[in-house]
């Protein structure tokens, strides 16, 4: 008599991952790389743009849950990028976190205060950005 091996249906994993898509826009390639890897380690899908114009192209082509954006960017500054990005996807209005080393600049400070977005002053601990992002997406 030949015994057939039991056929088992694989059990579904009770673990489910909820990946959030994040666009990171910063011309500092080293910082962008560090943040990209740190966020990816925490199950964020991170897309990177190194200038505001490339960031805007990505916003037009993709859906993001949040955007982390430097204020001083080549080709299209962060404040203008914000205005154009929310014109494309109004739901992103409250989904921005700005990062800047220029918050003391009166024009930048006015923009950051006026739009009510979260922002962090450079340099900042990576964990502070992660906490801010988790709070924004909760």
**pTM across the whole model:** 0.85
- Taking 80 as the threshold, does the pLDDT of residue 21 lie above it? yes
Q: Are 130 and 120 in contact (CB under 8 A)?
A: no
| 46-69: pLDDT as tens digits | 999 999 999 999 999 999 999 999
| Domain range annotation of the chain | 20-137
User: 20-137: what CATH class?
Assistant: alpha beta
| pLDDT of 105 | 84
Structure confidence by residue, pLDDT tens digits, 91-137: 999 999 999 988 778 888 888 888 888 999 999 999 999 999 999 99
């Amino acid at each position: 008599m030949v015994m057939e091996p039991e056929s088992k249906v694989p059990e579904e994993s009770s673990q489910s991952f909820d990946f959030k898509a994040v666009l990171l826009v910063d011309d500092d390639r080293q910082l962008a790389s560090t943040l990209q890897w740190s966020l990816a380690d925490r199950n964020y899908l991170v897309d990177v743009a190194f200038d505001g114009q490339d960031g805007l192209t990505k916003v037009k082509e993709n859906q993001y849950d949040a955007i982390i954006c430097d204020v001083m960017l080549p080709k299209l500054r962060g404040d203008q990028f914000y205005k154009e990005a929310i014109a494309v996807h109004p739901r992103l209005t409250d989904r921005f976190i700005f990062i800047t080393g220029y918050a003391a600049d009166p024009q930048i400070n006015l923009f950051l205060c006026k739009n009510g977005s979260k922002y962090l002053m450079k340099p900042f601990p990576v964990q502070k950005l992660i906490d801010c992002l988790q709070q924004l997406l909760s």
